């Protein structure tokens, strides 16, 4: 027998150029009737300019708006291609809306952005170029927080310092949800099932090679912010308590320190009593000790409560959001 001949199939290359890759913009909207037309008008030239590089489509996630937001978006979707709409059954909050968007986006990459033009659409072009050059995540870092009040930028600064001191993966400062993420990254994020959710923390948790573009963040174009300080505080607590257990563990050290201090103090008291005999009643020190330990206990219990509450919401296994309807643009079908 002669030698066996192994025949390879010669790879047949397509004659046509490869299809353009698709980028889905995820846009959560809550009572934004004043912003939608402005947003699309500003976006159109960007989509046009990006057209040799990538196809951009838009997925609006209507987070239970009670105004004309839904009707306006549907009307726009009739008029132009590439607009899809995911209606949630009520207001679930921006984090849940964004998560819904991440679950339903069909593009090869996604970019979450706000409808109020605080995330300037022009930056998208820079992000897409970096992505086509190989980056998996392209963060948009704000140069300044012009649009925000003194209190908001201060409290944001304090939050980042606190979070980054404790969390396993820091959240880059001055980077919001506005960033490009490759499909691989989106797949990774979809596997994270937690319910008390701060997407920014999860985005940095998944890793992948990350690049950055810079931009100036302007003030809101129209309408009003839907974030109250309460909602922001809740988001900050969600970020911290779902990303780190440092606040729980800290109490071991505080407890040890306290035990040591009390031991030394008791010894001193004991010796003093032996040497000088029984003293005038120690009213002040007793009250101080009670107050200090009471306060510490309360604080520690509060922290444990934060975790227990979150464990409870996680074990209930409720979905993060409920979809009422999904209008998919023909051009956006997977």
Site residues (CB under 6 A) for ligand UDP?
28-30, 32, 63, 91, 93-94, 97, 114-116, 118, 220, 225-227
- Give least dist CB 109 to ligand UDP, A: 20
- Total site size for Mg ion, rule CB under 5 A: 3
Beta-bridge partner residues of 112: 26
Q: Which of 244, 234, 263, 237 is nearest to 164 (CA)?
A: 244
Q: Which single residue is written with the structure tokens 């209507």?
A: 62
Q: What token pair was written down for 5?
A: 């001949």
Q: How many residues belong to the chain?
A: 334
- Give least dist CB 38 to ligand UDP, A: 12
Q: Which of 3, 74, 66, 79 is nearest to 32 (CA)?
A: 66
Evaluate the CA torsion angle 139, 151, 42, 67 in order and state its sign: positive
Could you say which of ligand UDP, Mg ion, none residue 94 binds, taking C-beta under 5 to 8 angstroms by partner kind?
ligand UDP
User: What does the alpha-carbon distance between residue 29 and residue 58 come to, in Å, rounded to a whole number?
Assistant: 12
63 versus 70: smaller Cβ distance to ligand UDP: 63
87 neighbors 323 (Cβ within 8 angstroms):
yes
Could you say which of Mg ion, ligand UDP, none residue 107 binds, taking C-beta under 5 to 8 angstroms by partner kind?
none
135 versus 140: smaller Cβ distance to ligand UDP: 140
Q: Is 57 a binder of Mg ion (CB under 5 A)?
A: no
24 versus 130: smaller Cβ distance to ligand UDP: 24
149 versus 252: smaller Cβ distance to ligand UDP: 149
- Give least dist CB 84 to ligand UDP, A: 16
Q: Is 31 a binder of Mg ion (CB under 5 A)?
A: no
User: What does the alpha-carbon distance between residue 234 and residue 224 come to, in Å, rounded to a whole number?
Assistant: 20
166 versus 232: smaller Cβ distance to Mg ion: 232
- Give least dist CB 268 to ligand UDP, A: 53
- Give least dist CB 26 to Mg ion, A: 15
93 versus 247: smaller Cβ distance to ligand UDP: 93
63 versus 238: smaller Cβ distance to ligand UDP: 63
Helices (H), 198-282: 199-205, 229-243, 246-276
Could you say which of ligand UDP, Mg ion, none residue 101 binds, taking C-beta under 5 to 8 angstroms by partner kind?
none
109-112/21-29 β-pairing: parallel
Order of all β-strands in the sheet with 54-62: 210-217, 137-145, 175-182, 109-112, 21-29, 54-62, 83-88, 323-327
User: What does the alpha-carbon distance between residue 193 and residue 152 come to, in Å, rounded to a whole number?
Assistant: 30
Could you say which of ligand UDP, Mg ion, none residue 93 binds, taking C-beta under 5 to 8 angstroms by partner kind?
ligand UDP
User: What does the alpha-carbon distance between residue 93 and residue 68 come to, in Å, rounded to a whole number?
Assistant: 18
- Give least dist CB 225 to ligand UDP, A: 4
- Give least dist CB 219 to ligand UDP, A: 9
Binding mask 107-136 for Mg ion (x = CB under 5 A): -------x-x-x------------------
- Give least dist CB 116 to Mg ion, A: 4
CA–CA distances in Å: residue 281 to residues 116, 278, 285, 292 = 65, 8, 9, 19
29 versus 240: smaller Cβ distance to ligand UDP: 29
Which residues bind to Mg ion, rule: CB under 5 A? 114, 116, 118
């Amino acid at each position: 027998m002669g030698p066996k001949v192994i025949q390879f199939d010669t790879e047949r290359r397509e004659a046509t150029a490869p299809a353009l890759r698709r980028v889905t913009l995820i846009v959560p909207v809550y009572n934004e009737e004043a912003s939608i037309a402005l947003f699309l008008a500003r976006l159109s030239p960007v989509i046009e300019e990006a057209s040799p590089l990538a196809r951009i489509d838009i997925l609006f996630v209507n987070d239970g708006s009670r105004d004309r937001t839904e009707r306006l978006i549907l009307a726009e979707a009739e008029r132009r291609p590439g607009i899809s709409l995911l209606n949630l059954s009520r207001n679930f909050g921006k984090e849940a809306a964004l998560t819904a968007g991440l679950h339903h986006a069909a593009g090869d990459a996604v970019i979450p952005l706000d409808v109020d033009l605080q995330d300037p659409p022009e930056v998208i072009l820079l992000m897409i170029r970096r992505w086509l050059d190989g980056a998996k995540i392209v963060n948009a870092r704000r140069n300044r927080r012009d649009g925000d009040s003194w209190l908001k930028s201060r409290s944001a600064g304090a939050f980042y310092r606190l979070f980054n001191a404790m969390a396993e993966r820091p959240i880059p400062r001055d980077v919001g949800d506005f960033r490009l993420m490759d499909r691989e990254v989106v797949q990774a994020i979809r596997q994270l099932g937690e319910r008390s959710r701060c997407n920014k923390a999860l985005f940095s948790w998944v890793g992948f090679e990350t690049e950055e573009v810079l931009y100036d963040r302007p003030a809101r174009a129209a309408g009003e912010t839907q974030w109250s300080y309460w909602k922001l505080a809740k988001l900050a607590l969600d970020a911290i308590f779902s990303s780190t257990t440092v606040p729980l563990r800290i109490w071991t050290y505080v407890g040890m320190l306290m035990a040591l201090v009390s031991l030394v103090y008791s010894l001193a008291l004991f010796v003093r009593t032996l040497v000088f005999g029984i003293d005038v009643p120690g009213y002040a020190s007793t009250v101080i000790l009670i107050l200090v330990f009471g306060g510490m206990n309360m604080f520690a219990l509060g922290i444990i409560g934060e975790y227990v509450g979150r464990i409870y919401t996680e074990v209930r296994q409720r979905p993060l959001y409920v979809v009422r309807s999904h209008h998919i643009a023909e051009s956006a079908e997977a």
